[in-house]
A and B are shown apart, each in its own frame.
Chain A
Amino acid sequence: MPFDPATLDAPFAALKAYDWTADAAPLKTIDQAAIAAHADAALRADLEKRLCGILGGGPSRAAKEYACRKLMMIGTAASVPALAALLGDKDNSHMARFALERIGAPEAAAALRTALGEVSGDLAIGMISSLAARRDAASVPALAALLQGDATIAAAAAEALGRMSSPEALAALASADPFAAGGLGRAVVDARLACAEGLLAAGRRAEARGVYQALLDAAKGKPAAKEVELAATRGVLACVDASLAAL
């Protein structure tokens, strides 16, 4: 049975006034509309517009959070501007990413990349994390540049490059120090290992083995590098076995 958009008027009025002390029962209709929107393009567009309307100005953090959860399900490129506007807002940045990370439209990735250049600290780590989850190839240069900066953000960038597992990501990681202090070195190693696994899974055994061998060489003679040596040894063996399997 088609969903009548007019039934959304009252629930959205309730959502505008919603906060963490209010009755959430009226929101149930919006939940149902979000499911029904899958097979009803007009309803989806209408619902998306209404939800985006919650994201600006007056409604509470709780209302915006609710709208972001629904946009995670049904959002399209049309939601991106409203969501992007929240990315720099400490209270709402995560929930904006909650939606943007899962919206497949390229505009969503572009918004996250733009925000990465504008925010700092934990919010930047959030952008990096969402770009990594999307395996956004276009963000590799920006992530590569971050490897040289603040160690915490550099570690997140390294981790993200590992998640990308692309040749470009690997090239960026090759210049990062796998034995850098704190969590950065650990993240670089983890990312390089992830890239090597990606190469191996793609059948590019020689290149994967090169990554492992480089880590083995780098670990040589370093007293605190045993786990690197162990992991890289596992990798080399996996490459050799993959060669066997392919023959």
Chain B
Amino acid sequence: MSTPGSRQSRTESRRRFLQAGTVSAGAAFAAPYVLTSKALGDAATPPASDRVVMGGIGIGNQGKGDQANFLGRPDVQYVAVCDVRKQWRDEAKGRVDAKNGTKDCAAYVDFRELLARDDIDAVHIGTPDHWHAIMTTAACRAGKDVYLQKPETLVLRDGPAMVAAARRYGRVVSGGSQRVLGDYRGIVDPIWAGEIGAVKSIDISVGGPSMPCYLTAESTPPDIDWELWLGPAPWEPYNPGRCNGNFGTGGGSWRSYVDYSGGSLTDWGAHHFGGAIFAADLLELQPAKVTFHPASADGKEAGYVSVAYPNGVEIFHNRPGRLRPTPSISHQSAIQIVGDGQPREPKPVPAYRNGEGSIYGDFIECVKTRQRPFRDIELAVNTMTAPHMIGIAYRLERSLTWDRAAQQFVGDDEANRFIDRARREPWTLS
């Protein structure tokens, strides 16, 4: 196993290298790492030996935002970018070089080359969802910590694979929903203070699942490595609308289509389900039952789906307004929560590890201290099971029962077929 050493041992070897004033040869694919004055640190910047060395994979829309946040941190030394699109890759490298005052940022098309570098402690991943599990497990095996954009999983099977890899190799893997703690304090604080009593039901309003993609074939531009963009997803011809990274889910973006995304249900859903599940303290749980409520006979009222947790809390997705009970507390019109009204013992609300109001700071602190991050991958995976199961119920138009221990639906062979997908060779997920 040619896994690079731990962050600590890498830090030690970097320190020795800096003291010796030599240029690191790095790993097989490493770009030259040139010693600059910034690498030695200044009043505002810790020396390189104390910084977390990072690279980014998938630096388009959301990945670009993540890059900006990590790049702006004085305790991060950003050294490499990876994207299958030349323009985004070049721009991302340009931003790093401008920040570092060098031309040393390595730029890769293939993430495996970036992961092979021995000097990188952590990566952030902002690719479309169909890559998340493969890249995260590969990064864990390669001894890297991972900040992974939400939605962390594309299919239910992705979750256990990522959690197992994180635990097996002792890696810090943080989900990337910055809104969970940032946007929902208005419901989180009163609920954790026990004010509405035990949560009974939650209504979430967010878009539905992704759809099949029937875009026509266009010639592949030279700017993109199309085979790598598709990766484990079924081969389809290039169309710009298929791989556009905009935030729409109604077509013309990868977030719209089933091979690459769970649609609004998991995209914005990661935020709303994330916020509601955190507020109701369901993070350790997975739903036990999924109920499909068919459309009204006259077709005027659309069908909807709910999931019930083992503790009795039920989350409804897009339940018609007339059926909703009066909420005890709401987050805008997106989340409505009903409690039993019996005040409960307050509990302290979990916080980011380093006291900053930033999930990025939380991740970096955990990389340094080896603590579990606020959005530990296991909690993020548990959260995402709800919208994934809801999506499957919509596709099959029926109710389901989930056996968490077996990670299977009970007595429904067809539903179990949606737990995972065959990955296109040569990509595998162990």
Q: Is B4 an interface residue (CB 8 A)?
A: yes
Pick the interface stretch among B63-71, B281-289, B302-310, B419-427.
Answer: B419-427
Count of chain B residues with a beta carbon within 8 Å of a chain A beta carbon: 41
B234 and A98 contact, CB distance less than 8 A: yes
B5 and A130 contact, CB distance less than 8 A: no
Q: Is B376 an interface residue (CB 8 A)?
A: no
A132 and B430 contact, CB distance less than 8 A: yes
- A173–B150 Cα distance when bound, in Å, is 35
A190 and B424 contact, CB distance less than 8 A: no
Query: Most chain-A CB neighbours within 10 Å: which of B212, B214, B422?
Result: B422
Query: Most chain-A CB neighbours within 10 Å: which of B4, B234, B420, B423?
Result: B423
B237 and A20 contact, CB distance less than 8 A: yes
B413 and A104 contact, CB distance less than 8 A: yes
Q: Which residues of chain B are near A69, meaning CB under 8 Å?
A: 212
* Distance of B121 from chain A, by nearest CB (Å): 14
Q: Is B397 an interface residue (CB 8 A)?
A: yes
Which residue of A is nearest B427, CB measured? A129
Q: Is B141 an interface residue (CB 8 A)?
A: yes
Q: Is B398 an interface residue (CB 8 A)?
A: yes
Which residue of A is nearest B258, CB measured? A69
Q: Which residues of chain B are near A160, meaning CB under 8 Å?
A: 428, 430
- 17 A-B pairs in the complex with CB atoms less than 8 angstroms apart: A20-B237, A24-B212, A27-B214, A38-B396, A72-B417, A102-B421, A103-B417, A123-B425, A126-B425, A129-B429, A132-B430, A179-B1, A197-B164, A226-B5, A227-B169, A230-B170, A231-B170
* Distance of A223 from chain B, by nearest CB (Å): 10
- A156–B428 Cα distance when bound, in Å, is 8
B430 and A163 contact, CB distance less than 8 A: yes
* Distance of A132 from chain B, by nearest CB (Å): 7
Q: Which residues of chain A are near B397, meaning CB under 8 Å?
A: 35
Q: Is B2 an interface residue (CB 8 A)?
A: yes
A94 and B234 contact, CB distance less than 8 A: yes
B168 and A193 contact, CB distance less than 8 A: yes
- Given A126-B426, A193-B168, 12 new contacts (CB under 8 A): A20-B217, A24-B214, A94-B424, A125-B428, A162-B430, A163-B430, A187-B430, A190-B430, A197-B168, A224-B2, A225-B1, A231-B170
Name the interface residues of B400-430: CB closer than 8 Å to any CB of A.
413-414, 416-417, 420-430
- A187–B169 Cα distance when bound, in Å, is 13
Q: Which of A74, A102, A129, A230 contacts B425 (CB 8 A)?
A: A129
Q: Which residues of chain B are near A98, meaning CB under 8 Å?
A: 234, 421-422
Query: Most chain-A CB neighbours within 10 Å: which of B217, B234, B425?
Result: B425
Count of chain A residues with a beta carbon within 8 Å of a chain B beta carbon: 60
Q: Is A234 an interface residue (CB 8 A)?
A: yes
A94 and B2 contact, CB distance less than 8 A: no
Measured CB to CB, the residues of A under 8 A from B are 20-21, 24, 27, 31, 35, 38, 65, 69, 72-74, 91, 93-95, 97-98, 100-104, 122-123, 125-126, 128-130, 132-133, 152, 156, 159-160, 162-163, 178-179, 181-182, 185-191, 193-194, 197, 224-228, 230-231, 234
A159 and B430 contact, CB distance less than 8 A: yes
Q: Which residues of chain B are near A95, meaning CB under 8 Å?
A: 234
Q: Which residues of chain A are near B4, meaning CB under 8 Å?
A: 227
Answer whether A231 and B398 are a contact pair too, CB < 8 Å, given A73-B417, A133-B420, A186-B141: no
- A104–B143 Cα distance when bound, in Å, is 36
Q: Which residues of chain B are near A186, meaning CB under 8 Å?
A: 1-3, 141
* Distance of B392 from chain A, by nearest CB (Å): 11
A190 and B141 contact, CB distance less than 8 A: yes
